[in-house]
Amino acid sequence: MHLLSEREQAGGRIFASFLTQLLRNYIFGSTVAVLGVGGIVVFSTLSIPANERFLLGIIMISSLLIMFVCELFVFYRQLRPIQAIFKNAHPTSEQLKTAYLQTHQFPTLAVKRTFGPHFLGLLLPAVSMAFAFIKLGFLKLPYSYIGIAAAVALMIASMHAMIEFFLSSKAIRPVVTFIRDQHKQLYMQDITLGGRVLVSIRTKFRLSAFLIGTLPLLLFGLASQIRLDHLQSEGTMAYWQWAGIILIIGVIYSLLGASLLSRSIEDPIHTIQNGMSSVQAGNFNSSAADVYSDEFSKLVAGFNHMVNGLKEREQRNNQLLQSYFMTLAAALDARDTYTAGHSTRVARFSVQIGRLDGWSESDIDILHKTALLHDIGKIGVRDAVLLKEGRLTDEEFDQIKLHPVLGENILKQIEPADAMADLLPGVRSHHERYDGKGYPDGLAGTDIPLFGRAIAIADAFDAMTSDRPYRKGMTYERALSIIEDGKGTQWDPKLAQLFIDSLREKANEGEEAS
């Protein structure tokens, strides 16, 4: 309860700080965009009597009140999923995930809020009241000024949205961290976006740079139109012919600058993303091209250093793992000097079969490891039975037949649980027969795991060609003839034929060379 209380208190402080920061951001953005830019443009540009200025002030204040009410309603609706986890002492996993995503979306929601209740809540009442006051004669302004005011309001909303987006992006970070920590504490699992992009860098940079470049020009142009109304129409037309060209050039330049700026950020990010994707796919030979001279050069160098470290660790782990398998196989073979090297030879023959059948390198690697440990279950068979030189009794042979299952059970004890999962089917099934008369499960045909079918051929071939205390090993040709006779009954016909053809071809090549 004490820990829970501390977590609740910490959550309360974080949420209160979050709300305070959002309020500060809103006041700052509104002051700069609405009251600052909007008020200065309206009141410094228009030359109107004091009573009309008073009416414009009433229109602006009334519209702002309506805007605040509408925006506050939408704001609390957007905040509700986040607020819910701070009110609940033990939120569900789904609630935390919903709040996590909602928090990440908050900057984008702030933009939608600005163009929704903020912009429309201000514009619609203001336009309606201004139109009514002009029609009633209380304001001596042209109706065209309403259109200009709407355009200025749109620009101000765009400026406010940009400020809100970037300030909110910073404000959400403590909340995101708290939600992740709470989910890990309660459900022992992290939550992330998993690479999901909610707002691309291209969109952020291009829109921001475009607004920064064009809004001052457009505001200047519209304000100038009002100030130049006292000129003759010829003068106004000439002004706009000149100003229009300047505005077009400014807009084009802003678009070009925004595009170049976003591209300079996107390119190195894509370079690193491509490298990360390659590493995630298991390719540690990939690296990011170090072709940048700014801070991204440090990031790329750090990424490449990390990949090289992972590559070295992967190579070391593979060497250790391979040594581990070889050691286990050697320990097994050491129990019987006459079968020494059996596991290694079976692994070599099995890999040969897999390559002949066109298996992938990853499958070949699993096959090799499985073949090295295929007889690991014989550790559980008594020496009196395993090392017996004469013919086995039925009871003794039944004990030998248990070794595939014993081997599977031994490998299941190795942690982590999935470390040996790919090896288990081959170890258990390497004594199954293609006709279903094998053991331990009596599987037939393609129901027998593929690794088990390959190892069965290699195991039988090495057993027949190796010397035993009670017999001499067969010749390769004699053993191949037996396997050929057993195709489709004891062994997989396709794999067996590939193995037979390969060894006979090598034998023929050896005879020709001699």
Q: Does residue 41 belong to any structural domain of this protein?
A: yes
CATH for 382? 1.10.3210.10
Which residue range forms the structural domain that includes residue 178?
Answer: 2-198
Q: Report the number of distinct structural domains present in the chain.
A: 2
Judge whether 297 and 290 are in contact, CB under 8 Å: yes
What local confidence, expressed as pLDDT, does residue 94 receive?
93
What local confidence, expressed as pLDDT, does residue 1 receive?
43
Helix (H, G, I), strand (E, B) or coil at 276: helix
468 forms beta bridges with: 471
Q: Confidence class of residue 459 from pLDDT cuts 50, 70 and 90?
A: very high
Of the two residues 391 and 82, the one the predictor is more confident about is: 82
Q: Does residue 194 belong to any structural domain of this protein?
A: yes
Q: Does residue 350 belong to any structural domain of this protein?
A: yes
Helix (H, G, I), strand (E, B) or coil at 187: helix
376-421 tens-digit pLDDT: 888 887 777 766 667 777 787 888 888 899 989 988 888 777 778 8
Written as one letter, the residue type at 475 is: T
What local confidence, expressed as pLDDT, does residue 430 receive?
94
Give the C-alpha separation, 456 to 425, whole Å: 12
Closest CA to 367 of 387, 347, 383, 388: 347
Q: 27 and 175 in one domain?
A: yes
pTM higher than the cut 0.85: no
What local confidence, expressed as pLDDT, does residue 344 receive?
87
- Boundary residue ending a domain (163, 198, 233): 198
Residue 418: phi, psi to the nearest 5?
-90, 0
Give the C-alpha separation, 175 to 101, whole Å: 11
- Looking at residue 471, the DSSP 8-state letter turns out to be B
Q: Does residue 230 belong to any structural domain of this protein?
A: no
Placement of tokens 């022992």 in the chain: 188
Q: Does residue 506 belong to any structural domain of this protein?
A: yes
What local confidence, expressed as pLDDT, does residue 2 receive?
47
Residue 40, pLDDT > 60, answer no
Rounded-to-10 torsion of CA 113, 119, 121, 123: -170
Q: Does residue 437 belong to any structural domain of this protein?
A: yes
- Boundary residue ending a domain (198, 221, 238): 198
What local confidence, expressed as pLDDT, does residue 337 receive?
57
Both tokens of 173, joined, read 């970070």
To the nearest whole number, what is the mean pLDDT of the chain? Answer: 81
419-438 tens-digit pLDDT: 788 999 999 999 999 999 99
Give the C-alpha separation, 174 to 188, whole Å: 20
Q: Confidence class of residue 3 from pLDDT cuts 50, 70 and 90?
A: very low
What local confidence, expressed as pLDDT, does residue 387 receive?
64
What local confidence, expressed as pLDDT, does residue 467 receive?
72
- Boundary residue ending a domain (164, 198, 232): 198
The set of residues, in sequence order, having a beta carbon less than 8 Å from that of 28 and lying 6+ positions away, is 163, 167
What local confidence, expressed as pLDDT, does residue 205 receive?
74
What local confidence, expressed as pLDDT, does residue 63 receive?
84
Residue 477, pLDDT > 80, answer yes
Q: What is the DSSP track for 380-393?
A: GS-HHHHT--SPPP
Instruction: Name the helix (H) or strand (E) containing 326.
Output: helix 295-333
Q: Does residue 244 belong to any structural domain of this protein?
A: no
Residue 23, pLDDT > 70, answer yes
Instruction: Name the helix (H) or strand (E) containing 295.
Output: helix 295-333
What local confidence, expressed as pLDDT, does residue 428 receive?
95
Mean predicted confidence (pLDDT) in 146-150: 77
Q: Does residue 22 belong to any structural domain of this protein?
A: yes
Both tokens of 299, joined, read 């990031």
Residue 466, pLDDT > 80, answer yes
